[in-house]
Structures are given as structure tokens and as C-alpha cells.
Amino acid sequence: MYNSLVGHNIAKKKLIRRARSSSDLSLPALESAKQDISTDREAELMSQTDVATLLAPELADRLRAMPKAEIHVHIEGATDAETFYQMAQRNQVDLPADSLEAWKSFFEFRDFSRFIEVYAAAVKCLQTPEDYALAIERFYSRQAEENIRYTEAFLSATFLTDKFEDDEILDAIASGRAAGEAKYRCQINLIPDISREIPDSQHRVLEFVLKGKERGLFIGLGVGGLEVGYPPELFAETYAEARKHGLRIVAHAGEAVGAESIWGAVNTLKAERIGHGIRCLEDPELVEILRQRQIPLEVSPQSNYCLGVVERGQPHPLRKMVDAGLYCTVNSDDPAMFSTSLTNEYLTLAEQGFSWEELWQLNLNTLAATFLDKAEKDNYRLEWEKFLHSAS
């Protein structure tokens, strides 16, 4: 199934990741994307309410209330329509809507063609360091609303280093974090990533990340973006240098490209976690290595459906991954852009037959896969045990 989707989705993935790394996605490119995918429009994303109505009310309520961790979510893709609208008004950016309500309607996920238009319009709103401070503060609010107690989130460092001076954007990131921590009951750490389709940016990104690490702003380094044509091996030296400086190492792999991308992330980059990774199932030997080493996989079901990596209407391969003994976690990737949330990811899996016990274990897996130290993890586990006892 995956191989039949890959060729068609290469153009899709290229445009998405370009949007993450650049604020200039031209109208001709958008029109080309529309033509490329005109025959691939899926049914609308099932709303969170619709999913919840298929479940026992007690299970849906418990999933909403449970304290959660998340380790694969992009700040830019988690920024909501209202925040982007506020930035547009402040920066005098024209949007394809003449009011906030119209923009919210336009922003809602419908299909891939609309998603590309939304992403292109939204990232143009990110014009100043203050915009990033606001996006980060609002991200704290979003996570707190879902009772996501701890998060490790991505920032597109290739874009940041191309657009801003280091000190001004680091000051803005620090300001956004301070404001969020003061207002909301959640903890967030940041992992900037390299846009792999711009490999020449990697050394500049590492320099930026190390400056942020010195200020206590960043904990690791990632690589995302277009997998096709940009294998993990291109970033081997940068990752080796990052490890020498004590950065935690993660990599997107096995989403648009198959098992070879995951092999490269594991063997060459020495990635401690794999973003997505669902195409490991194409290679039994890789599945066995991942199982033996218990390398965490950062799985985002609705993202996979929305981008066509998994065909909508088919069960998500997370079931096969769990049954194979793989170390799986649940995440939301670009939740605002895909009209989803971490809670909705769990609701989706519940609707596909995952039990409460399995979902709770996936949540525990996510906490265990974080880069928190043992004492910090133990503190969260105590809090979660109290919730479990109160919910039983």
C-alpha cells in the first residue's frame, strides 16, 4: 500500500516541507499542487466530536482528562487560525479571507489542496521575532487546555536562521517561553530541526542550536522536511558534532521514504528517536532491530491520513507496530493545520479498537521516551498514578 502512495505523495511532501522552511510558496506552485492531487481528494477529516460519539462516553472523557506527554509536534503547525490572523493584522499581511470568522473557516482542514493554501498563507504571517514569541506563548495555552503536561516540540531552525539574527530570535523564544510558563501549567522543551531539502543550512543551524542550548532554550537537534532525495547520510557530520556537544538527537524518517530512511537515521545519525517511522513494517529485519533496541517511534495518525501516507478509511499501522513489540508513542505533528489534537489522536485509535489499557500504555511510553531525567519523569509518573487511581 505504501509503495503505491509514495510516488504520488512526493510532490505533496515537497510543498509541505517547503512551507515549513520558507515563507514564499508561490501561486504557480500552489496551482501545480492542486493539479497534481486533483484526483486524490479524500473525505473530510472526521471531527473530534464525530469520533467521540462512536465511543463510550466514559472512555472519551477519560482520554480528554488524562495527563499526557507529547514528543512530536511542530510549533508552526500547532499555531491556530486566530493567532495567525492577529499576526497578519499586525504585519499588514493579506489573507485569503476578509474577517476572522472567514479565515477560521478557510483554515479548517478539508483536503490536501486546501492545506497547502492555508500553510502558505499562514507562514507568511510570521514576520518578526515577536510573532514567534506569541506563537510559543499560545502553544503553551494549547497544550495546557489538553492537559499535555510535558512536551518536546520542533521549531524550523532553517527558516529562523535565514530570516533573523540569532540574538533577536533567541530573545523572542525566551520571552515566549517565560510568558507561557508563567501562565500555564505545563512544561515545554524545544528541539530545532534542519530542513533536509536545504542541506547547506545544517552547519548554520547547529551553530544556532548550540547558542540556544547555552541559554537553556534548546535540548536537541532534529532533521525534517523532504525525505525523497535527501537521505540521513547527508547530515552525518553535523549529527556527530551535535552529539559531542550534548544535544539529544532525533530524526524524521520512514514517512515519505521507506525502511532505508529509518536505517540511515538509526545507523548513521544514531537517532535516539524516530519521527513517524511507520514504514518500518516494510522490512522485517528493521522491525526486529527496532524491537530489540526499543527505539521510540513518534507516531502521528491523523497526519499520516491527511498527507496520504496511510489511506483514509484503512486502520492505522500503529496496531501492527504495537503487536510487533515496537516502542510506539502518540503525537499530533501539525495539529492546528490538520484540525486535530493529541486528544483526538487517542480518540481515533480508540475508535479503531485500542483499549483504555493500551492507550494508557502508549501515553506512558511517550513520557518514558522524553529526554527528561529520571527524577523529572518520576515526578510526572506520580502525578499520573494519582489520576489513574482517581479515574478507576
Q: Mind listing the pLDDT tens digit of every residue in the chain (392 residues)?
A: 223 233 333 334 444 444 444 444 333 333 334 344 333 334 334 444 445 445 778 999 999 999 999 999 999 999 999 999 999 999 999 999 999 999 999 999 888 778 888 988 999 999 999 999 999 999 999 999 999 999 999 999 999 999 999 999 999 999 999 999 999 999 999 999 999 999 999 999 999 999 999 999 999 999 998 899 999 999 999 999 999 999 999 999 999 999 999 999 999 999 999 999 999 999 999 999 999 999 999 999 999 999 999 999 999 999 999 999 999 999 999 999 999 999 999 999 999 999 999 999 999 999 999 999 999 999 999 999 999 999 87
Give the list of residues 6+ apart from residue 123 with CB closer than 8 angstroms, or none: 19, 20, 22, 23, 25, 76
With residue 220 as reference, give the H or E element that holds it.
strand 220-224
Instruction: Name the residue with cell 505533528.
Output: 333
C-alpha cell at 348: 481515533
Dihedral sign for Cα atoms in the order 91, 118, 339, 156: negative
Total domains in the chain come to: 1
CB contact at 8 A, 175 and 216: no
Cell representation of residue 63:
482520554
227 classed as catalytic: no
Q: Are 334 and 77 in contact (CB under 8 A)?
A: yes
**Exposure on the CB side of residue 363, measured as CA atoms within 13 A:** 31
Catalytic residue from among 70, 137, 255, 345 = 255
Domain containing residue 277: CATH number: 3.20.20.140
pLDDT at 54: 55
Q: Which residues lie closer than 8 Å to 182 by C-beta, 6 or more apart?
A: none
Write down the pTM of the prediction. 0.87
Q: How far apart are CA 155 and CA 342, in angstroms?
A: 18
pLDDT at 42: 40
Q: Which of 218, 219, 126 is nearest to 174 (CA)?
A: 218
Q: What is each CA distance from 164 to 201, 203, 239, 250, in whole angstroms? A: 14, 16, 23, 24
- Which structural domain, as residue segments, surrounds residue 158? 2-391
Cβ count near 28 (within 10 Å): 8
Return d(Cα 22, Cα 163) in angstroms, integer.
9
At 99, give phi and psi (nearest 5°): -160, 165
**3-class DSSP state of 138:** helix
